[in-house]
Amino acid sequence: MNKKIKDVLHQKLQAKKSVLAGLMIIATLSSCSKNNEEIMADAQTNALQSKNVKQGKLGGQTITYEKKDGLNFFQGDIVLTDQQLTEDNSANKGGASFSRWPGGKIYYTVAGNMGSINGNKITTAVNEYNNKTNTQWIPRTNQTNYVEFIFGSSSGSDGWAHIGYQGGRQNISLDQYISVGSVIHEMGHTVGLYHEHARKDRDQYVSIQWNNIQDGQAYNFNMYNSGTDIGPFNINSVMMYWPTSYSKNGQPTIKRANNTNFTYNRTGFTTGDINTINAMYP
Ligand SMILES: [Zn+2]
């Protein structure tokens, strides 16, 4: 998921809210009811959004997630099924993954409205997986269990994916302006990877800058203790959050443990990413 763009969008939203606050003053002065209604609608939307933040169990651990468009979003771009949120830890044998794709074979289809630009990104990302990891992404013929790349939006640059092997059809959603690196990131969730910053050993390597995180978003930085950390912590992992993910002020939300900044990677796999995937799919 392209957090940087998301941050920009958030800033735009904040700017819009400032404008609305300004309008509220104007509305009060001029008794313009239309503006008041708009402001009320905005306030109601915000209240609903916060109501959509829920708690559930994942692998035996209580986690916070957001219900949006009927989907359960965990840490921004990982989609959990209702089943995953009700199973106890005995059902989760996946470690870093929820569960593995049998034989490391991942059958996929691409939605007809995806367009050739994203189609090419998918091809590039599939080749990266097929050339560098033990997972094989294979165009689906008639398999029952598969992933479909669906088109998210024509304006955004985000993506999301179901985590691990689900059985039946599952999705990876790609917006028009997503990067190839972020396609590789979303496919990492499909393979079974959670975010690197959620590892239980992360505090040895990074420092979460809680004061810079947007109100109501701190839960996205919680550790996920129920998974199994594979290999050493990898700050350049394609599965790391951006340094300014969910920043409310443009300042870093994640730094190195020694308080210096790190550079994010969305160009492709690091050796650590490949080693992790291959440990999961020997
Ligand atoms: Zn992600």
Domains and CATH numbers, the chain: 102-191 (3.40.390.10)
The answer to whether residue 251 scores a pLDDT higher than 50 is yes
3-state DSSP helix/strand/coil % of the chain, to nearest 5: 40, 20, 40
Query: In this structure, what DSSP letter does residue 160 have?
Result: E
pLDDT exceeds cutoff 90 at 86: no
C-alpha–C-alpha distance, residues 166 and 232, integer Å: 27
Give 185 Cα–ligand 1 centroid separation in angstroms: 6
The span from the CA of 96 to the CA of 279, in Å, is 10
Share of the chain above pLDDT 70, in %: 78
Asked which of 4-13, 58-67, 135-144 is least confident by mean pLDDT, the reply is 4-13
82 pLDDT band, cuts 50/70/90, is confident
Q: Is 179 left (phi over 0), alpha (psi -120 to 50) or beta?
A: beta
Residue with tokens 């044998």: 93
CA distances from 241 to 20, 77, 191 (A): 31, 11, 18
In the structure, ligand 1 is a single-atom ion and the residues with CB under 5 Å from it are 77
Rounded CA separation 264/246 (Å): 14
Q: What is the mean pLDDT of the chain?
A: 83
pLDDT in tens, 40-57: 444 444 444 567 898 888
Residue 261 half-sphere exposure toward CB, CA atoms < 13 A? 8
Span from the CA of 186 to the centroid of ligand 1 (angstroms): 6
Residue with tokens 């035996």: 60
User: Does the annotation place 197 within a ligand binding site?
Assistant: no
162 is in an annotated binding site: no
- Please give the positions annotated as active site: 186
How far away, in angstroms, is 276 Cα from ligand 1 center? 16
227 vs 92: which has the higher pLDDT: 227
Please say whether the dihedral angle defined by the alpha carbons of residues 89, 93, 97 and 99, taken in this order, is positive or negative.
negative
Residue with tokens 């059809």: 169
Report the range of poorest mean pLDDT among 58-72, 117-131, 260-274: 58-72
Q: Cβ contacts of residue 273 below 8 Å, gap of 6+?
A: 188, 234, 237, 238, 239
Q: Tell me the torsion sign for CA atoms 158, 213, 20, 53.
A: positive
Q: How many Å lie between the centroid of ligand 1 and the Cα of residue 268?
A: 14
What's residue 87's pLDDT? Answer: 66
The pLDDT score that the predictor gives to residue 228 is: 85
185 marked ligand binding residue: yes
